[in-house]
Amino acid sequence: MKPVDHTPTAWKWAAWTLAGLIGLAVSSCSPSTNVGTASPGAVAAEPAPAAPLVVTDEAWTFDDAAGRVYRTPSYAIYTTMSGGMIVDRAPSFLEHALSNYTSAIAPLPRPTRTMETYLLSTKAQWQKLTRRLLGDEADPFLRIERGGFSHKGRGVFFDIGPRDTFVIAAHEGWHQYVQTTFRETMPVWLDEGVATVMEGFRWDQADVTVPKFMPWANLERWQTLQWTNQRGNLMPLKTLLRTTPQELITDPGNGGGDWAPLMYYAQVWGLVQFLREAEEGKYALGLREMLTDAAAGRMGRRVEQELGRASADAFRMRRDGTVVFAAYIGRDLPALEGEYKAFVARATARGNRAKVAAGKSPLEP
């Protein structure tokens, strides 16, 4: 019996297709393609989510579609949507998401330039904009059925309903932030694992326009991880650290069939949760250092210092996730795999669903 698929289709196509078929290009260059009539703004130093978040509100036109561009301290939000919950809450959501990216796991730098995010009201508009922005690179992105993508520091989305649109914006927003800010490319397992952890949020009961980001508030990932573990289909740790979503799309394998990519994302989500919380936080420092070193451009040097030149070359040339894991977390993969599997079993044990639904750690008493 397969798990109930509560996961938005947007996750499957935006996450699987982009992480696998395209890869996550780290770019520190400002995008050069002009797609609207408004000019880019500047990023304020160290902004915090606080009213008023919208600094300016201007008219913007995409082809014949009238729209708006809302500028916040860190984003320029271009939209052809005429109003409603997504547009009303997007400035707050994106700024709070950015604060979460830069503080939830490690103290990370804020972007030094405005990040462009596009919210299109229809898929047809999104397809046209994607072709205009990406040119010859557009075809793989156009295979996305629902949701959107991030590429070279831009987020490009279309309306798939409030919940799903915000979830995809939180996941791809992490990649958008990394592409804008980090000086070194991370291994795929780490980049995608953190992106899935950044998906978890609930609206604040005191102010429903404000998101509260909670790493465990992600029933879809938790249920898929539980199902994967119950079937005995957890990947060996060494395999998980080296696998990419592209490989699973083209060759599902591992008993997962069409579910293999979704199972992969649940497992890297679980792996980052393991590093955050397992063994009383024993590995949390290593996780923080991975992110801060990648942001500063020190990851390859750390791998070389810990493991030697050959391992550093494996990371730089192939984004080999095993050498990064060994350098920051530990070299005894069989022992670490045992701890990881025990953590997954405990976290996904029967009775923990309510805790996860509430955004609480399943490890809490």
**Domain assignments of the chain as residue spans, ordered by start:** 9-26+42-205, 219-357
Q: What's the pLDDT at 18?
A: 38
Whole-angstrom distance, CA of residue 283 vs CA of residue 272: 10
Q: What's the pLDDT at 145?
A: 86
Q: How many C-beta atoms lie closer than 10 Å to residue 76's C-beta? A: 24
Q: What's the pLDDT at 154?
A: 97
Q: What's the pLDDT at 6?
A: 38
With a CB cutoff of 8 Å and minimum separation 6, the contacts of 327 are 302, 303, 305, 306, 307, 311
pTM of the model: 0.87
Q: What's the pLDDT at 49?
A: 60
Instruction: Give residue 207's Cα distance to chain centre.
Output: 25
Rg (alpha carbons) of the chain, rounded to whole number: 20
Over the stretch 178-203, which tens digit does the pLDDT of each residue have?
Answer: 999 999 999 999 999 999 999 999 99
Instruction: Give residue 178's Cα distance to chain centre.
Output: 9
Q: What's the pLDDT at 52?
A: 59
Token pair 């199972």 is found at: 263
Closest CA to 165 of 356, 55, 54, 8: 8
Over the stretch 201-212, which tens digit does the pLDDT of each residue have?
Answer: 999 989 988 999
Hey, what are 141's tokens?
């992105």
For residue 5, is pLDDT > 50? Answer: no
Q: What's the pLDDT at 31?
A: 33
Q: What's the pLDDT at 39?
A: 36
**Band (221; pLDDT cuts 50, 70, 90):** very high
Hey, what are 184's tokens?
């070194």
For residue 42, is pLDDT > 60? Answer: no
Q: What's the pLDDT at 14?
A: 38
Q: What's the pLDDT at 256?
A: 54
Chain-wide mean pLDDT for the chain? Answer: 86
Over the stretch 268-301, which tens digit does the pLDDT of each residue have?
Answer: 999 999 999 998 899 999 999 999 999 999 999 9
Q: What's the pLDDT at 21?
A: 33
For residue 12, is pLDDT > 80? Answer: no
Q: What's the pLDDT at 50?
A: 55
SS3 of the chain: the string is CCCCCCCCHHHHHHHHHHHHHHCCCCCCCCCCCCCCCCCCCCCCCCCCCCCCCCCEEEEEEECCEEEEEEECCCEEEEECCCCCHHHHHHHHHHHHHHHHHCCCCCCCCCCCCCEEEEEECCHHHHHHHHHHHHHHHHHHHHCCCCCEEEECCEEEEECCCHHHHHHHHHHHHHHHHHHHHCCCCCCHHHHHHHHHHCCCEEECCCCCCCEEECCCCCHHHHHHHHHHHHCCCCCCHHHHHHCCHHHHHHCCCCCCHHHHHHHHHHHHHHHHHHHHHHHHHCCHHHHHHHHHHHHHCCHHHHHHHHHCHHHHHHHHHHCCHHHHHHHHCCCCHHHHHHHHHHHHHHHCCCCCHHHHHCCCCCCCC
Token pair 């809450």 is found at: 89
Q: What's the pLDDT at 253?
A: 53
Average pLDDT over residues 18-22: 34
Instruction: Give residue 177's Cα distance to chain centre.
Output: 9
Q: What's the pLDDT at 250?
A: 64
Number of residues that make up the chain: 365
For residue 323, is pLDDT > 90? Answer: yes
For residue 60, is pLDDT > 70? Answer: yes
Over the stretch 132-165, which tens digit does the pLDDT of each residue have?
Answer: 999 999 999 998 888 999 999 999 999 999 999 9
Average pLDDT over residues 221-243: 96
Report the range out of 136-150, 247-261, 344-358 with the highest average pLDDT.
344-358
